[in-house]
Structure 1
Amino acid sequence: MKKYASLILFALLLNGCDDGDLTVDTIDFDDTTITSQTCDPLTNNLIYRLKPQESLLIQLPDDKIINDQTIKDQPLVYDIDNSLYRVVYRAYDGTVATANICGAIPPTSPKVTEEWQATAGQIVIISQQNTDNTATDGSSKITGYTHNIAFRNITFLKPSGPQVEEEFNFGNFVTAYTSPSTIYTNPVQQCSNTKQIYNFNTTSALTIDNIDPLLIVNEITPTDKPRTGLINATTNKVLLRSYINGTLTQSYFCGSTIPSSPAVNETWIAQNGSEGQSGIIQVTTTKVLNTYTHNIVLKSVKLVKGNSSFNLATNYILGNLEVTVAP
């Protein structure tokens, strides 16, 4: 009798064992240690979060995660249409990894045991720039952007029927960014036709357009009395541009038409100056023989693009403009 009782107990234990399938009633990805990741856009354009046996996937066009800060109370909002803008939850019968999400040919194991397709609702994105302010010269640089992604009034079509969540936080997704280089080893140049002041390297250029002619004068400035002018949107307009698809050279500047290569990637505009405080152009002029040297310094300049910004060094030396005159 004891033998039969033992067999029955063993059979009950076998039937009660977990077969690996995950039964899910609600989605919970609130754990801040679960990081958001992205697949290679060339393979599978997804942003995803993983738990041991669960995944939460977002698919949207690759230009909708924008490297710029969003304005307060004005997030980016995209309507879920289960086509271009998709949200999918999946549960698995084993441990899931990146290869299961991003592979061109996903592995056969673990298997999806449950899938919820989002059929309605909105994807809401609030973006914030990540800034490095540790430089001792007063400069700052943008190192990336943190995009908080949430869902509003999202409807999941579950096997048991639709389920609506008014507010659902997906989490933070971080994108990398490199601020344009502002290190120039060339001498400053000035176009003879437009009078544009510029300096450049192979990937970026900093220019002063429509510079006040009273700033560049072939006269020695008194000691500790440089010429100064304020940056603004018309006179003394300071721009920082980065370039792609080619190498920036001297021949790019001062022509009657702007070359198509390299192409402008980004344009950062200096904030208007404030007397004695910020956005100041300072020029000190010296002379050796027949050559005047105009040392150009930009003081407390903030560069802005969209809703993002970073600072040049408090006393940023653009460089020397040398002008040789006839004896």
Structure 2
Amino acid sequence: MKKYASLLLFALLLNGCDDGDLTVDTIDFSDESISSQTCDPLTNNLIYRLKTQESLLLQLPDNSIKNDPSVYTYDIDNSAYRVVYRAYDGTVATANICGTIPPKTPNITEEWLGTGGIIEITTSSNIESNATDGSTKITGYNHNIVFRNITFAKPSGDQVEKEYVFGVYKTSYTSPTTAFTNPVQQCPTSKQLYNYSTSSALTIDNIDPALIVNEITTTPRSGLINANGTTNKVLLRTYINGTLTQGYFCNTTIPSTPAVSETWIAQDGIAQTSGIIEVTTTNVNNVFTHTIVLKNVTLQKDHSSFKLPTTYTYGNLEVVVAP
């Protein structure tokens, strides 16, 4: 009898040993120290979070994560928009998620699939302010991801979560350069003013002719930026590949290369407050130098915006006049 009792106790001990499997009743990735990562930073089509023996995966079509403050919603369909939770029998790492040939271990012990619900992504921009010159720049974007009314199909049956916080996914961003070392130029026919670097250009389209007059000023001439009008429209464009040259400007047809990456539009001016163009003119030996300054200018693209320095020197436009 004692022999059979000992065998039964030994069997119970064996069954009670930890074999590394993880029993899951709820998913909890609320620890803010768990960062959201992506396998492909260019398209962001797979975002994941990892714990020691767990992963939470979000697969999206390319460019579903947008660097533009707003709220974006997508239907979970377990196809183009997928949510997958997995538990493992050992430590899981990035290689298990993103590897071309995933490692053999750890093994997946449990998987939950999102079969319905909404993916809600609330995007905001990270703004860095310069207290010295009053400018701001965008350094990146935060994408706060929440699943609403998500249904998980799991081994023990469906489970519905009214709200499940996936977490914050961060993307980086480099603000356009507005530091130009060239003199301002003016196109002879369109009267567009332009200044540029190899990667960006700031233009004033059809500047008000009353601002550029070959007469010495005692006080600056002043005008207001007009975002949608026919004069004084200020645009900042960035270009792909950083190959912008002076030959790009003043053409009847805008060249196709280098291609425009982004277009930022200066917002409408308000008298004595913001969006102001000031021009001061001097004359030395029949060379009139028009120094152009922009004051309190905000540039906007979709729902993103940043500020130029409070007093931003656009540059000098020189006009030679025959004696």
Alpha-carbon distance in structure 1 between the residues aligned to 2:283 and 2:240: 38
Alpha-carbon distance in structure 2 between the residues aligned to 1:318 and 1:251: 20
2:191 equivalent to 1:191: no
SS at match of 1:220: coil
Q: Which amino acid aligns with 1:212?
A: D
Deviation at 1:105, TM superposition (A): 0.9
1:90-101 matches, within 5 Å, as 90-101=86-97
SS at match of 2:97: helix
Q: How many positions carry a matched residue from both structures?
A: 321
2:221 equivalent to 1:227: yes
2:198 equivalent to 1:210: no
Deviation at 1:12, TM superposition (A): 4.0
Deviation at 1:134, TM superposition (A): 3.3
Deviation at 1:81, TM superposition (A): 1.1
Counterpart in 1 of 2:176? 180
1:14-163 matches, within 5 Å, as 14-40=14-40, 45-70=45-70, 75-163=71-159
Q: Which amino acid aligns with 1:326?
A: A
Unaligned stretches of 5+ residues in structure 2: none
Alpha-carbon distance in structure 2 between the residues aligned to 1:271 and 1:98: 44
Q: Structure 2 vs 1, CA of residues 320 and 263 (structure 1 numbering), >3 Å: closer, same or farther?
A: same
Alpha-carbon distance in structure 2 between the residues aligned to 1:145 and 1:45: 16
2:295 equivalent to 1:306: no
Deviation at 1:42, TM superposition (A): 8.0
1:3-28 deviation per Cα after TM superposition (whole angstroms, max 9, x unaligned): 99888766543331211000101111
1:54-113 deviation per Cα after TM superposition (whole angstroms, max 9, x unaligned): 10000011211000101xxxx211011111111100000011111111111111111100
SS at match of 1:14: helix
Asked if 2 retains the 8 angstrom alpha-carbon contact of 1:44 and 1:104, the reply is no
Counterpart in 1 of 2:274? 278
Alpha-carbon distance in structure 2 between the residues aligned to 1:291 and 1:134: 36
Q: What's the Cα RMSD here?
A: 1.9
Q: Structure 2 vs 1, CA of residues 173 and 118 (structure 1 numbering), >3 Å: closer, same or farther?
A: same
Asked if 2 retains the 8 angstrom alpha-carbon contact of 1:43 and 1:102, the reply is no
Deviation at 1:305, TM superposition (A): 0.5
Alpha-carbon distance in structure 2 between the residues aligned to 1:161 and 1:210: 66
Q: Which amino acid aligns with 1:45?
A: N
Alpha-carbon distance in structure 1 between the residues aligned to 2:305 and 2:192: 24
Q: Structure 2 vs 1, CA of residues 44 and 149 (structure 1 numbering), >3 Å: closer, same or farther?
A: closer
Q: Structure 2 vs 1, CA of residues 165 and 179 (structure 1 numbering), >3 Å: closer, same or farther?
A: same
Unaligned stretches of 5+ residues in structure 1: none
Alpha-carbon distance in structure 1 between the residues aligned to 2:41 and 2:80: 14
Q: Which amino acid aligns with 2:32?
A: T
Q: Which amino acid aligns with 1:214?
A: A
Alpha-carbon distance in structure 2 between the residues aligned to 1:288 and 1:102: 65
Alpha-carbon distance in structure 2 between the residues aligned to 1:139 and 1:3: 84
TM-score (ref. length: structure 1)? 0.94
Q: Structure 2 vs 1, CA of residues 5 and 103 (structure 1 numbering), >3 Å: closer, same or farther?
A: same
Asked if 1 retains the 8 angstrom alpha-carbon contact of 2:235 and 2:265, the reply is yes
Asked if 2 retains the 8 angstrom alpha-carbon contact of 1:130 and 1:143, the reply is yes
Alpha-carbon distance in structure 1 between the residues aligned to 2:12 and 2:221: 92
Alpha-carbon distance in structure 1 between the residues aligned to 2:156 and 2:2: 43
Alpha-carbon distance in structure 2 between the residues aligned to 1:2 and 1:159: 40
Asked if 2 retains the 8 angstrom alpha-carbon contact of 1:246 and 1:261, the reply is no
Asked if 2 retains the 8 angstrom alpha-carbon contact of 1:139 and 1:314, the reply is yes
Query: More deviation in 300-309 or 228-237?
Result: 228-237
Alpha-carbon distance in structure 2 between the residues aligned to 1:108 and 1:280: 64
Alpha-carbon distance in structure 1 between the residues aligned to 2:86 and 2:308: 47
Alpha-carbon distance in structure 2 between the residues aligned to 1:118 and 1:247: 46
Alpha-carbon distance in structure 1 between the residues aligned to 2:9 and 2:199: 74
Identity %: 72
Query: More deviation in 252-261 or 12-21?
Result: 12-21
Q: Which amino acid aligns with 1:293?
A: T
2:13 equivalent to 1:13: yes
1:262-319 deviation per Cα after TM superposition (whole angstroms, max 9, x unaligned): 0010000001111111100010000110100000000010000011100000010111
SS at match of 1:297: strand
